[in-house]
Amino acid sequence: MAPGSILKLLFSRRLLVDGLLLSLAFSVFVLGTAFINVWLWFGDYPPEIRALVENPPTPPFVQRLVLALLGLGMIVWLMVRSTRAFLRGAPAENRFVLAMAHAFLLFQFVNVWDVVIIDWLVFVTWTPEVFVLPGTDGSPGYDNYWFHFRASFLHPGPWIGGLVASAIIVGIARWGKGSSRS
């Protein structure tokens, strides 16, 4: 398959539509869980904000477990759905690698959305009261664009995690009903 055809296949309408759908679902999940219990996201706050909070409450285990399973289930289901559709249109040659690239690009689409829309626009620029932890109002940490960029793009975790998750998503998509096993 020619390089131009590969790029056209990977950067298709499917990536845009499914990336937006996944990003919107992710946004509803993140913002919804913040309204339920903002302390669920305490570990994702900039360190200068976390340092201002003495003895942060730990969310109940059952709440963390149920919300984590719901969020993970939603993300996996949407990614598998998109990857199965991608596999149906992908050429047999290098199908696994192409599908893994598709899943990885979906993951990065959500990563970019998370930084630009959720972190920078909502958390840093808008900063709704629901996100302001008690005793941290006015902290310069709420204006820290660099923290979110660094955590999402310069730290190896999202890249390595994205590659591993992409391989798992493709495995599930190929294993499931109606998928091609070639």
Q: Which residue from 169, 170, 164, 165 is spatially nearest to 182, judged by alpha carbons?
A: 170
pLDDT for position 177: 55
Number of H helices, E strands in the chain: 7, 0
Share of the chain above pLDDT 90, in %: 87
Q: What is the DSSP letter of 2?
A: -
Asked if 179 and 173 count as a contact pair (C-beta separation under 8 A), the reply is: yes
Distance, C-alpha 56 to centroid of its chain? 25
pLDDT for position 178: 52
Asked if 124 and 144 count as a contact pair (C-beta separation under 8 A), the reply is: yes
Residue with tokens 């390089």: 3
Residue 176 has pLDDT above 80, yes or no: no
Residue 119 has pLDDT above 60, yes or no: yes
What does the pLDDT look like over 3-49, one tens digit per residue?
A: 888 888 888 999 999 999 999 999 999 999 999 999 999 999 999 99
Residue 143 has pLDDT above 90, yes or no: yes
Q: Sketch the domain layout of the chain as residue ranges.
A: 3-175
